[in-house]
Structure 1
Amino acid sequence: MTTLIYLLIAYLLGSIPTGLWIGHSIYGKNLREFGSGNTGTTNTFRILGKKAGTVTLLVDLLKGTLATLLPIWFGGSWLSPIIIGFLAVLGHTFPVFAHFKGGKAVATSAGVILGFAPSFFLYLLVIFLTTLYLTSMISYASISVAICALVGIIIFPALGIILPSYDLVFSVVIGLMATVILLRHQDNMKRIKNKKENLVPFGLNLTKQAPKK
């Protein structure tokens, strides 16, 4: 019963549509009607600004972290905390509070990893920030992180760094989260290929994207 409660709480935490609610309650805007139509961090930054985007990023990150830490803090679960955390990712992607139309799961997935494997989170954060600066694209950085996460769970245990040993459950959940992220970024991949992806206002834009104004 305790495990089921954790799973339910994790899903409901993930289902909180942070950007959507901030847009409605504070700015009087429905994020689905602007920009990419996505309710996640990137579109919130683009449409509502830095403050709203930062709050959305932090809340979406903490949703995953809290869901993962609850069974660690209070015990009583026969499931690995990272599995429970993954329910927050599913909630973020298919939120019950937003007609099951959610974000792309990057921030919440990062929060799960932060709660379960902080050193692996730091490795992915470095990849994300470096790629973001080089490409000026949040989407490219997110895709790169998903791929590097898959590479990391294979290489690091063999080298004995960051991840000291192979963990089947951890590897499977990382694989699932990476798959969700990659699937949710298919449209971005097409725009990147066509040199039309949206950019952040800094970085080197090495791939020479030229989005429509």
Structure 2
Amino acid sequence: MPKILLLVLMGYAIGSIPFAILASCLFRLPDPRSYGSGNPGATNVLRTGNKAAALFTLAGDAAKGWFAVWLVQRFGADVTTAALAGLAAFLGHVYSLFLRFRGGKGVATALGVLAGLQPTLALATAGIWLVVAFVSRYSSLAALTAAAGAPFLALLLGLPREVVFVIGAMSVLLFWRHRVNIRQLLNGTEPKFRRARPQPEPPADQA
């Protein structure tokens, strides 16, 4: 049990790394918490118009989810412990240790966790996101649909029930983090894909 706890805490620390802040420093951009949705995530960084910074953020957020799962497996952990470490990394992104327990919405990090657990699952989930995003032009709706489908895809792929439960928990948390977006989708006020400059009043959007 102490070893499992240590591995899970390690996953949380990895997930807490704020790549949006690092990207903003590297590309000399404003702090992403000061404009747009206020979320330190790739979509908000994209509001600056700097695609390279947004891509760096997206890749980093996904990579830390994958790395947390991969690393604990290298320590000899079983797939359930790896899934817990991945969930911890997701929580680290959402409630970052380095940002006073605030963070982004966790979509990229969740996808990275799925990639670490089962690459086919990650590809299928990303496929759902792409199709819904292309058809609807709503990033948040795409994320919510993919999150809803991930546990069922995990079941179809034969992942252990404990792992499916962890993925389900991550999906529930994603829905919670998108509660404002859900309200806006229902009200018809959710913004579609667009590139915007930093602005003081945020529409709550995918990050």
What is the TM-score with the length of structure 2 in the denominator?
0.86
CA deviation string 1:40-99 (max 9, x = no partner): 121112235211110000000010100001122231579521111111011011101001
Matches within 5 A, 1:101-140: 101-140=102-141
Question: 3-state SS of the aligned residue for 1:47?
Answer: coil
Question: Contact 1:17/1:95 (CA < 8 Å) preserved in 2?
Answer: yes
Please list the CA deviations of residues 123-174 of structure 1 after superposition, one character each: whole Å capped at 9, or x if unmatched: 10110111110011211110010111133345x2xxxxxx1x3522111111
Contact 2:16–2:92 under 8 Å retained in 1:
yes
Structure-2 separation of matches of 1:78 and 1:135? 35
Partners of 2:66 and 2:175 in 1: how far apart?
21
> Whose radius of gyration is greater, 1 or 2?
1
Distance 1:37 1:6 in 2: 30
Give the letter for the 2:180 counterpart.
D
Match of 1:179 in 2: 172
Query: Residue type matched to 2:193 in 1?
Result: V
Map of 1:17-166 to 2, 5 A cutoff? 17-24=18-25, 26-47=27-48, 49-75=50-76, 80-154=81-155, 156=156, 163=157, 165=158
Structure-1 residue corresponding to 2:199:
none
The alignment yields a C-alpha RMSD, in angstroms, of 2.1
DSSP-derived class of the 1:27 partner: coil
1:188 is aligned with what amino acid?
N
CA separation in 1, counterparts of 2:49 and 2:93? 19
Q: Percent identity?
A: 32
Moved more, 43-52 or 57-66: 43-52
Higher relative contact order structure (alpha carbons within 8 Å, sequence separation ≥ 6): 2
State the match for 1:159 in structure 2: none
The residue that corresponds to 2:185 in the other structure is: 192
What is the CA–CA distance in structure 2 between the aligned matches of 1:153 and 1:70, rounded to whole Å? 21
Q: Equivalents in 1 of 2:83, 2:28: separation in Å? A: 35
Structure 2 distance, partners of 1:144, 1:78, is 25
What is the alpha-carbon distance in structure 2 between the residues aligned to residue 125 and residue 6 of structure 1? Answer: 27
5+ residue gaps, structure 1, are 157-162, 203-210
Q: Alignment length, in residue pairs?
A: 195
Matched letter for residue 173 of structure 2? V
Amino acid at match of 2:168: G
The worse-fitting range, judged by mean Cα deviation, of 188-197 and 174-183 is: 188-197
Q: Is the 8 A contact 1:137 1:198 kept in 2?
A: yes
